[in-house]
Chain A
Amino acid sequence: MQNSIQHSYFYEQPLAAVWAYLTESELIAQWLMPNDFLAEVGHEFNFHTRPMPNFGFDGTIYCKVLEIDPMKKLVYSWQGGPEPGVINLDTVVEWQLQEKDNGTELSLVHSGFTADQAMIFGIMSEGWLKNITKIADLLNALAS
């Protein structure tokens, strides 16, 4: 079970251009979501998207800038929940930029899909097959 999401993407533009789209509120809004981001460590901001009640998510993502290394790295927290004040998604988004010959490589790690959740999956991957067998055994015992 993975408990982080990783992506990397190559852009033909220079690093500074890509960095601007990660760190300027209006530019971020053009590709990600409306937000009140400011490139200052400790700044708290929100993203707004559509709610997904089935996942206990009301559509607001609560973030805080955790780390900025200009032109290299940006880290913010990424939290959400079913209503204000209730957090059930407590994750971290980390961006890194690397200059390439003809453009920029952007890498993203979205981590912290909690240890609990990962643990539950760990249990499942070992336990699930055994469990299926067990159910079958119980049902067979019942039938005989």
Chain B
Amino acid sequence: MTTAQIDIFQTLADPSRREMLHLLSKESLTINALAQNFEMSRPAVSKHVKILQQAGFITIRDIGRERYCLLSQDGFTRLQEWISYFDKFWSNKLKKLETVLNNKANA
């Protein structure tokens, strides 16, 4: 549940965080290597990384002496679920409209 409490859309609303995901889609990076791409303080980068992690877009793994940021499917799956939710929502509603119209016609 911890990841579910972070808003995936708020997470993606930030351009730096989107850029981080973009960079991580090409290769997994250490937080230091990631930070080199941004003109912000290392703590600021860490904060963004933490938000991405909590929202389920990345995981952090210790590999050797380094901490690597890796993309994670969870956050992306939830985005997809949200859009699928509306897809199903509308098919149910359109069917319901049919029932309502038919009932009215027969009344």
Interface size class of A (residues with CB under 8 A): 35 or more
B72 CB → nearest A CB, Å: 10
B95 CB → nearest A CB, Å: 8
Given A54-B4, A142-B64, residue A13 in contact with residue B101 (CB < 8 A):
yes
Separation of A22 and B49 alpha carbons in the complex (Å):
45
Interface residue? B25 (CB, 8 A): yes
Fill in one digit per residue for B62-103: 1 if any A CB lies within 8 Å of its CB, else 0.
Answer: 011000101101001011111101110011011111111110
Given A21-B101, A119-B18, A135-B28, residue A31 in contact with residue B93 (CB < 8 A):
yes
Fill in one digit per residue for A92-123: 1 if any B CB lies within 8 Å of its CB, else 0.
Answer: 00000000000000101010010011011101
Main secondary structure of the interface of A (DSSP, over half): helix
Give A contacts to B, CB under 8 Å: 2-3, 5, 7, 9, 11-13, 17-18, 21, 30-32, 52-56, 82, 88-89, 106, 108, 110, 113, 116-117, 119-121, 123-124, 126-128, 130-131, 134-135, 138-139, 142
Instruction: For the complex of A and B, list the 5 residue pairs with the smallest distance between their C-beta atoms, beginning with the closest.
Output: A127-B25, A88-B9, A56-B7, A31-B97, A9-B94
Give B contacts to A, CB under 8 Å: 4-5, 7-10, 12-13, 18, 21-22, 24-28, 63-64, 68, 70-71, 73, 76, 78-83, 85-87, 90-91, 93-102, 104-105
